[in-house]
Structure formats: C-alpha cells, structure tokens
Copies of this chain bind each other. A is one copy, B any other.
Amino acid sequence: MSQQRNGQAAGVPGGAVFPDLPEATVARLPEYLRSLHHLAETGFDTVSSEGLAAAAGVNSAKLRKDLSHLGSYGTRGVGYDVALLIAQIEHVLGLTQRRGVALVGVGNLGHALAGYAGFGNRGFRIVALFDADAHRIGEQINGLAVRHIDDLAAVVTAEAISIAVIATPVHAAQRVTDLLVRAGVSSILNFAPCVLSVPDGVHVRKVDLAIELQILSFHEHRKSALTTLPVHVGHGRAALATPVNGEAVAT
C-alpha cells in the first residue's frame, strides 16, 4: 500500500490546514458529514456527540476524538453547531470545490453509476465518461456524452481531473489505470475485481461486491456452525457469555 508518512505539517499556523488525521478518522468523517446533513435538514441547529454518534452508528467517545482532531468546534455543555461542523468537515475533506470525476467503463455498472444523481449533494460531479466500445461512443447519459477512451488523456488534462472511477471489466482495468495515472489522475476508485498496481502517490480504493458478500458469508457460516455444535463449554461458567441471542423468532 502507498503508506506514506508525512512528518511535517504538524505545527501549522492559525490557518486551517492539515492536522494529519488518522486514516480511521478520515474514513469516518464522510459518515458524520452525511448524518450532519440529515440533521440539518431535519431542523437541528446543534447536536451533542451522543446524538451525532447515534446517527452515524458509532461510539460517542470515538466521535469526539475524531472531531477533536479537526480542532475544537464544539461547545461544552451544548454540543456542536451543525452548520459549522458541516463546513469544517467539508473543508477538511476538500469538498468545498465540487470536484470533477471521470468514469471509465459505461457497461452495466458504469451506466448505473453515471446515472446516479446522488453525487451532486455529496461534493462531486461526473464530468467525463469513457468507454472502449465503439457502439457506446456518443451515447448521452444524464446529459453527458460517452467519449472514446483514446480521448482520455486530453480530457483529463483539460478538465484538471484528479479522481477517476473504474467500472470496466477486469481485463481492461490495469490498462485504463495506467492511462489515467499517466494523464495525471492520482486517486482511483476501482470497481473491477482485481488488484491495480500504481506508482507511489496514487491512491486506490476498491469496491468489490463479491468480496463483501463473501465476508458476510463467513459470518453466516460461522453462526450456523456455532448453533449446530452445542455450546462446548468446559466448565460451568456459561453465565457470562449471553447465549446465542434469544431473539431468534425465526421459524
């Protein structure tokens, strides 16, 4: 993984630059942001760490520690100002400018992603669609024309695109990645079920439906194996461990 340690940028002036957030925190901020937007729409002006944590599905101590990394934007005895916190998180995540995203591969999945309207509200705008299939070139999706992948470099440079989504078949993914990287893209979201190799400094995140299902499958398998085998306790102290959950109303 491209795990670059960045030692400096610690004692930045009063400005609003980067406290070098822990990766785990970064991964949760978007969830907080979504919950905050929801709270704002529901009419909340302030929210306590407890409330926001519940909305985001995390522990409140964890939430407070996460937010404390951004600086002190809460008021003791009151909570957090929703609008202020939204602005702060959006700033840290770099969402103040609506970033342009390129999407490569307008097949089954790519088509759905391109048509997904929910981006606008979340800080992104798909500004270019690419495909290799000549039959698809020119097709309009959501008011955007599909372009041939040969135009990728030119368009990416012209539009200063730094983030791309790969929704191609596996066999094309690495080639497309190389194209993107050479064109200056430095963050990639990969939906193709394969490992992409990229130079240092390029971030890749991966989404693989089958992997998610397999992880769930493990837990299912484990559950059923545990209920099949009885409890297998050597000594009597079964009391502490709450039995497998009485709820199982299932038939």
Contacts and interface: CB of A to CB of B under 8 A. Distances in A.
A123 B217 CA distance: 9
A116 B199 CA distance: 30
Contacts of A118: 193, 210
6 contacts: A6-B241, A34-B193, A109-B113, A116-B209, A187-B219, A189-B213
A56 interface: yes
Contacts of A9: 226, 229, 232
A46 interface: no
Q: Classify chain A's interface size.
A: 35 or more
A93 B214 contact: yes
A217 B184 contact: no
A148 interface: no
Interface string A228-242: 010111100000110
A172 interface: no
Q: How many protomers of this protein does the assembly include?
A: 2
Contacts of A122: 210, 213-214
A51 interface: no
A251 interface: yes
Contacts of A244: 201
A226 B17 CA distance: 9
Given A8-B233, A57-B197, A123-B213, 9 more contacts: A6-B226, A8-B241, A92-B218, A122-B214, A163-B216, A184-B249, A187-B219, A201-B245, A203-B219
A212 B207 contact: yes
Contact of A186 (B116, B189, B220): B220
A52 B225 CA distance: 29
Contacts of A12: 232
Interface in A59-117: 92-95, 99, 101, 108-109, 111-113, 115-116
B30 A210 contact: yes
A123 to B, nearest CB: 6
A94 B218 contact: yes
